[in-house]
Amino acid sequence: MRAAGRTVRARLRDRIAASDPGLLRLTAGLRTVGAIALTLLVLSLLRADVHILVAGAMAAMVATFAIREKQPAAQAVTLALGLPVALASVSLGAVLNTRLFVGDVFFVVLIFCAVYGRRFGDRGTALGLIGFQVYFLSLFVGATASTLPALCGALAVAFCSSALMRFAVVPATPTGVLLRLRLAFRARLAQLVAAQVELLDAPADEMDKALEAVREGTARLHETAMMIQGRLEEGTPDESAARLVQRRIADAEIAAERLGLLLLTARTAERADTLTLHLPGAPAPSLAGPELPDEAGATLRRDLQALHALVLRAGSGDTGTGLAHVRNRLLGYRDEENLPPASAAVQDVFRGIGESARAVLGLRIALDGPQDESDDSPATARSREELDAEDAAIDGGEEAAQEEQTGLRRPTTRAAVQVAVGSSLAIVGGELLSTQRWYWAVLTCWIVFLNTASTGEILVKGYRRLLGTVFGVVAGIVLAGLVGGHTWTAFALVLVLIFAMFYTAPLSYTLMSFFVTAMLGLLYTLLHTYSLDVLVLRIQETALGAVCGVVAAALVLPVQTDRRTNELLGTVLERLAEVTEAAVGQLSGGPADELLDKARDLDQALADLRAATQPLIHPVTPLRTRRHTARYVVALLETCAYHARTLAATAELLPTHPSIAADPRLRGAAGRTVRNIGVIAARVADEHAGAQVETGPSIASLLGSDAGTPRYGRITDRVLRHLERLDEAVVGLARPLGVPVAAPKG
């Protein structure tokens, strides 16, 4: 019974870890709700009136979510600085809110400074956010000079409550967050392997559904790997440990993605294109038959399920003989003599299972330390030796300096000017709608500029906020009617809505806006200002603020979506060329390079591009062709990034791996591909550039081999396959981007 209980708890833990990597959303929600609840408790014991309770609750929320630093010491400094900023802001709000012109001018200046402060990093962003939100709070509760002492006391209680929740009740150290992210990576890796098992068994009419699950699992695994990479420096004791985890995470991700591609190839009648794993909605290739041959299919199914169990139990501390037997069998597939009799495509899947098992073993050693080796088979012992040799060769590297833009070209300065102009328009228009609640338009204008960098992003964010607000108003009407004058019931519902707001914020901006508006409906009820007219006015002010934000973004120092995406596309292509050239150079015997760092930079540039293309692929976008093109280009780039990551990971093994040696024949094999990437980048930067993308013989033929000569060997052959697919994907980019392709030379 105890074992069954542990199994249920482990499954529940894995599901939670996979759905909320690092428990970041859960931590944010609990911390914010706890800070608000503690503030309300203290203020109620001090017999504060409902206006002070509302102010304290809002201040606790701001003091909690504004802090973004990862190190506790830095968080404490920012929180300590935030209190005087909040006190100054609420004091000025209380003094100036009755002085129409002076108060409006100060509000615009405050907004400019708050946005400009983003250039000073997380601390500047947090202090600017606290200053703005607390000034807004003073307008919301109608702060006056007579209520100022009580408001300042409520702010002090709120900040102290936030500190207590952050550092004592719901602490989140970088080491702890990274540990939970590792658990999430394992859980999502297990989910991906489970989806691959379903892909193996899927009948023809359910193949697309099974492929979509593999595609989603691959994307979620990559997302978690990126989150881990962003927290390695703070969460690991030294740089060598961080690089070790980075390498093992990259190995596991690449092995899992390659296994999915090999499975798809084994099940279909043709070579599966890597693009199929990255393009949403892409149909599965035609099946070779209803299922794999009975014996090979049964063995493959058994070993995929064994791999799934190996991943799940890798972090459970289970070191039993059964686990060792499974691991030994799967690692044995790395040797040709252990492969079951089957077609070449099916044998490739068994090899992929062996490489995935090796990646899981490396991940377990990197994260959990040395393991019991008493039950190792020769294949497992050899894998351990390879991993140990790789680990010993890891050393640190230096980050490349980033060129910083100045003046109005600096994004923070431009955004500050834009939001100041937009807020001025919102103030004027908002006061025409309502002399009492004009600040809602300003708040919306401010929010749509946060974490956006182009006019299209601001337009989509404004649309989502308006949509969430409309539905939130309906919910607010229902909830306000239910709670009536029950103050503490309303506060309890406010806490529930705030938790839901923080938990859903990274998933859906529309949902977050819905919960915010429903919560505000309850706060209006508490302040006895609730009415249907007020909530309708909230919709009008939100729409006005969104429009003002879009107008300011479009007319004042505009950054068009095309320009933004082209800049980011150029960066992705530059990073792609760097990774490819450096990896092939090292594989051909050139000097060692920081390949994993370059691959990480490529992944980050691609993530930025993916976010910037959201306005282009949003369902409300009327230009369907443009939407399909943007989605196709991003999918092609993800395919290119996968092959480049694999080349980099293979090249990283060269100094230590006993069975991998540099092949001088590879030198220059990527020359055409790198030149084509440069041609595409030049055309993206200047549409009048006249160079053409080159096509020609396969990469393998460039090495001078004849059709009758033996294969190059598994490693060189694998490198060539990735180079050829990378070359094909780069040529494929030419058509949607309008780059001319030269006819093959003949």
By percentage, how much of the chain surpasses pLDDT 90?
Answer: 29
Whole-number pLDDT of residue 402:
46
| 3-state SS class at 668 | coil
Q: pLDDT for 180-229, tens place per residue?
A: 888 899 899 999 999 999 988 888 788 889 899 999 999 999 999 988 88
Whole-number pLDDT of residue 188:
92
Given a cut of 60, whether residue 711 has pLDDT beyond it is: no
Q: Which two tokens stand for residue 457?
A: 């992003």
pLDDT class of 710 with cuts at 50, 70, 90:
very low
Q: How many residues does the chain have?
A: 746
Given a cut of 50, whether residue 48 has pLDDT beyond it is: yes
Selection from 138, 144, 94, 134 nearest residue 114 by Cα: 134
Whole-number pLDDT of residue 690:
75
Whole-number pLDDT of residue 415:
84
Whole-number pLDDT of residue 530:
66
CA triple 304-307-312, angle to 5 deg: 130
What string of H, E and C letters represents the secondary structure of 252-300?
A: HHHHHHHHHHHHHHHHECCCCCHHHHCCCCCCCCCECCCCCCHHHHHHH
Report the pLDDT averaged over residues 472-483: 83
Q: Would you say 228 and 181 are in contact if contact means Cβ atoms under 8 Å apart?
A: yes
Distance separating alpha carbons of residues 32 and 60, to the nearest angstrom: 7
Q: Which two tokens stand for residue 707?
A: 């059709």
Q: Which residues pair with 268 in a beta bridge?
A: 287
Given a cut of 80, whether residue 532 has pLDDT beyond it is: no
pLDDT class of 270 with cuts at 50, 70, 90:
low
Cβ-proximal residues to 100 (8 Å cutoff; 6+ apart), any chain:
none
Report the pLDDT averaged over residues 17-21: 81
Cβ-proximal residues to 378 (8 Å cutoff; 6+ apart), any chain:
none
Report the pLDDT averaged over residues 719-746: 84
Selection from 541, 518, 547 nearest residue 436 by Cα: 541
Given a cut of 60, whether residue 708 has pLDDT beyond it is: no
| 3-state SS class at 446 | helix
Whole-number pLDDT of residue 707:
37
Q: pLDDT for 58-86, tens place per residue?
A: 999 999 999 988 889 999 999 999 999 99
DSSP one-letter code for 340: P
DSSP one-letter code for 741: B
Q: Which two tokens stand for residue 164?
A: 């207590």
Q: Which residues of 640-672 are buried (b: 16+ CB within 10 A; e: fewer)?
A: bbbbbbbbbbbbbbbebbeebebbebbbebbeb
Given a cut of 70, whether residue 616 has pLDDT beyond it is: yes
Distance separating alpha carbons of residues 638 and 249, to the nearest angstrom: 18
Cβ-proximal residues to 412 (8 Å cutoff; 6+ apart), any chain:
115, 116, 117, 118, 119
Q: Would you say 674 and 581 are in contact if contact means Cβ atoms under 8 Å apart?
A: yes
Q: Which residues of 696-728 are buried (b: 16+ CB within 10 A; e: fewer)?
A: eeebbebbeeeeeeeebeebbebbbebbbbbbb
pTM of the model: 0.84
Q: How many other C-beta atoms lie within 10 A of the C-beta of residue 7?
A: 12
Q: Where are the beta strands (DSSP E) in 136-220?
A: none
H helix runs in 398-526, sequence order: 411-433, 439-449, 455-483, 487-504, 509-526
By percentage, how much of the chain surpasses pLDDT 70?
Answer: 87
For 731, the enclosing helix (H) or strand (E) is helix 714-734
Whole-number pLDDT of residue 278:
85
pLDDT class of 409 with cuts at 50, 70, 90:
low
Distance separating alpha carbons of residues 58 and 518, to the nearest angstrom: 15
Whole-number pLDDT of residue 316:
52
Whole-number pLDDT of residue 1:
44
Whole-number pLDDT of residue 280:
84
Q: Which residues of 511-521 are buried (b: 16+ CB within 10 A; e: fewer)?
A: bbbbbbbbbbb
Q: pLDDT for 565-613, tens place per residue?
A: 888 999 999 999 999 999 888 888 877 777 888 888 999 999 989 988 8
Whole-number pLDDT of residue 397:
44
Q: Which two tokens stand for residue 387?
A: 């991993």
Q: Considering only 113-117, 130-134, 243-247, which range has the smallest mean pLDDT? A: 243-247
Distance separating alpha carbons of residues 312 and 14, to the nearest angstrom: 8
Q: Which residues of 369-380 are buried (b: 16+ CB within 10 A; e: fewer)?
A: eeeeeeebbebb
Q: Sign of the CA dihedral 335, 339, 344, 346?
A: negative
Distance separating alpha carbons of residues 614 and 512, to the nearest angstrom: 18
Cβ-proximal residues to 562 (8 Å cutoff; 6+ apart), any chain:
none
Q: Would you say 338 and 332 are in contact if contact means Cβ atoms under 8 Å apart?
A: yes
Q: pLDDT for 637-692, tens place per residue?
A: 999 999 999 888 888 777 666 566 677 777 777 888 989 999 999 988 887 777 88
Report the pLDDT averaged over residues 617-645: 82
Distance separating alpha carbons of residues 437 and 431, to the nearest angstrom: 8
**C-alpha distance from residue 345 to each of 263, 358, 363, 516 (Å):** 8, 20, 27, 53
Given a cut of 60, whether residue 319 has pLDDT beyond it is: no
DSSP one-letter code for 745: P
Selection from 601, 587, 578, 536 nearest residue 674 by Cα: 578
**C-alpha distance from residue 264 to each of 188, 269, 287, 292, 516 (Å):** 20, 10, 9, 12, 44
Q: Pseudo-torsion of CA 555, 557, 562, 565, nearest 10°?
A: -140
Q: Considering only 37-46, 133-142, 363-372, which range has the smallest mean pLDDT? A: 363-372
Q: How many other C-beta atoms lie within 10 A of the C-beta of residue 269?
A: 10
For the ranges 122-126, 550-554, 616-620, the one whose mean pLDDT is highest: 122-126
Concatenating the DSSP letter of every residue in 690-708 gives ---B---S-TGGGGT--TT
Report the pLDDT averaged over residues 377-396: 73
Whole-number pLDDT of residue 202:
83
Q: pLDDT for 694-704, tens place per residue?
A: 887 777 666 65
Q: Which residues pair with 287 in a beta bridge?
A: 268
Q: Which residues of 562-590 are buried (b: 16+ CB within 10 A; e: fewer)?
A: eebbbbbbbbbbbbbbbbbbbbbbbbbeb
Whole-number pLDDT of residue 290:
47
Q: For all residues of the chain together, what is the average pLDDT?
A: 83
Q: Considering only 87-101, 304-318, 458-472, 573-587, which range has the smallest mean pLDDT? A: 304-318
For 430, the enclosing helix (H) or strand (E) is helix 411-433
Q: pLDDT for 149-167, tens place per residue?
A: 999 999 999 999 999 999 9
Whole-number pLDDT of residue 288:
56
Please report how many Cα atoms fall inside a 13 Å half-sphere around the Cα of residue 701, on the Cβ side.
5
Q: Considering only 167-171, 319-323, 506-510, which range has the smallest mean pLDDT? A: 319-323
Integer-rounded Cα radius of gyration of the chain: 29
Q: Where are the beta strands (DSSP E) in 523-618?
A: none
Give the distance between the most distant pair of CA atoms in the chain. Answer: 94
**C-alpha distance from residue 207 to each of 100, 272, 285, 440 (Å):** 64, 14, 9, 49
Distance separating alpha carbons of residues 451 and 442, to the nearest angstrom: 17
